[in-house]
Chains A and B, each alone.
Chain A
Amino acid sequence: MSQSPDPVIELRDVVKSFGPQRVLDGLSLAVPRGKCLAIMGPSGTGKSVILRHVIGLIRADSGLVAVEGRDVAKLSRKDLSALRKRMGFLFQEGALINWLSVGENVALPLRENTDLGDAEIRERVQAKLELVHIPDAWEKMPSQISGGMKKRVGLARALITDPEIVLYDEPNAGLDPEISQSINDLLRELHERLRVTALLVEHRVRCIRTVADEVVFIEKGRVQIQLPPHEFFHSDNPRLVQFLGTDPD
């Protein structure tokens, strides 16, 4: 996957430190169009930091972070905003705006960034809520819904602009196995139906088996192993065997 001639997402020799701690140390990876790359690794190895680089929330100390061939760090505010409108980001806890209802959370990007009328916005939001299997949730407030439902709302919001690229930050975190599986099936369904390019940070083996086309294992700030899921989870690499032996799935 990393040898794709035209990667949609590419990180090359990325270095990032927070204070004295070097989190990414020459990390390189690439995601071809329409594929889903999963990132695994111990806690604190910078998996979420990678996603934040790709969406332009963090700048690398050195190295290249490119989306569709454009260096994210060199984009103007306007161009970065335009790029973000083509991307979706599912935050670990959903990051829903607490004082807006579920429907208004999903509608927010359309209300703020488009000239669409209320009826059109309502129609689009309702379609996304149905896509994530919560058609009756519009009026609920974030404080009234479960963690699994928040993830679904976050996903609906991430998809409301029909993005070509989606970044998922631990979509299974804090969920019970049943809800996790329903989220995984949903991600797979979206991936197959919409053919989005995706970068997935996840610890759960089942999620990666269901959703990803390829898996990278990162440690010490670099990609250590990159394999398709069926090979990754049957690898006899001692470090990988040790790491996966502790997986909750």
Chain B
Amino acid sequence: MSLLSPVTSIAEGIGYQLELLGSVAARLHHVPGRARLVADQVYQSALQTVHVVLVVGLFIGMIVALQTGIELARIGQQDQIGTIVSLSMAREMGPFITATILAATAGSSMAAEIGTMSVSDELAALEVLSVDRVKLLVLPRVVALAIAAPLLTILCDTIGILGGGFVAQSQLNVSYQLYLDSAVEALRDPARILPLPKDVYGGLFKAFVFGVIVALIGCAAGLRAQGGALGVGNATRSAVRDAIIAIIITNYFITWALYQS
């Protein structure tokens, strides 16, 4: 095996994912005709993940409040806890945590479903029947997660901020009303382009991009699966791993583009 083969393999994988992204973009006009498939996927990926997002989001908000609150209390600035929790949740934690949960649930599920179709000749059957598998399998999943990820992120942000308030009141002696006032005030900073709080729409934009990434990487891994159950297992593992890496790298560049200036 050549020393370059892992690099070649990664490059091939990224190339395939980008090609798939182009194929999906070229078929976006078919979305209205796929509304039912998109709705099914939104149900599977979003509604069946809501409880996980709520639990994780709640505790992330509480952890952020506790960690930063303890330090702020030492310098007598615990009144600022609402600002820090709301900005953390809206800018970073909400979209990132939601995308990670989606990678582990919806992304892995997509890789396993499509991978199983691949190793059981169902994808070959679609090809033989001249059925466009990008239109049938990939497009609805990508659109569904592009819709679901921002919606779940709103939930995650909200429950996280509320959880932080609970910690602020019970552990840091900051009244709930003061906490909420500072949390809401922090999110009022208007953007230059849109008449919306920049931290909110920036986070939701991230969530949208992460949703597309998770679905695209999950579908690509499934489509390339081969070699029976072992191949499906490998596809599922690589889908989750690659999605999380891609989310973190993309997150840095989006953050840089939104906040650097």
Please give the residue numbers on chain A whose beta carbons come within 8 Å of chain B beta carbons, in ascending order.
52, 55, 57, 81, 84-85, 87, 89, 91-93, 95-98, 108-109, 112-113, 157
Contact = CB atoms under 8 A, between A and B. Distances in A.
B128 A55 contact: yes
Nearest to B37: A99
A95 B117 CA distance: 8
A84 B129 contact: yes
Contact of B130 (A52, A81, A96, A98): A81
B125 A112 contact: no
Nearest to B133: A112
Interface in B114-160: 116-117, 120-122, 124-132, 135-136
A10 to B, nearest CB: 20
Contacts, number: 49
Contacts of B136: 112
Contacts of A91: 121, 124-125
Contact of A89 (B116, B128, B131): B128
Nearest to B137: A97
Given A87-B128, A93-B121, A112-B131, 10 more contacts: A81-B130, A84-B128, A84-B129, A91-B125, A95-B122, A95-B124, A96-B125, A97-B117, A108-B129, A109-B130
A93 B128 CA distance: 15
Contact of A84 (B122, B130, B132, B135): B130
A109 B129 contact: yes
Contacts of A112: 129-132, 135-136
Nearest to B121: A95
Contact of B124 (A57, A108, A113, A157): A57
A197 to B, nearest CB: 16
7 contacts: A84-B128, A93-B120, A95-B122, A95-B125, A98-B117, A108-B129, A109-B129
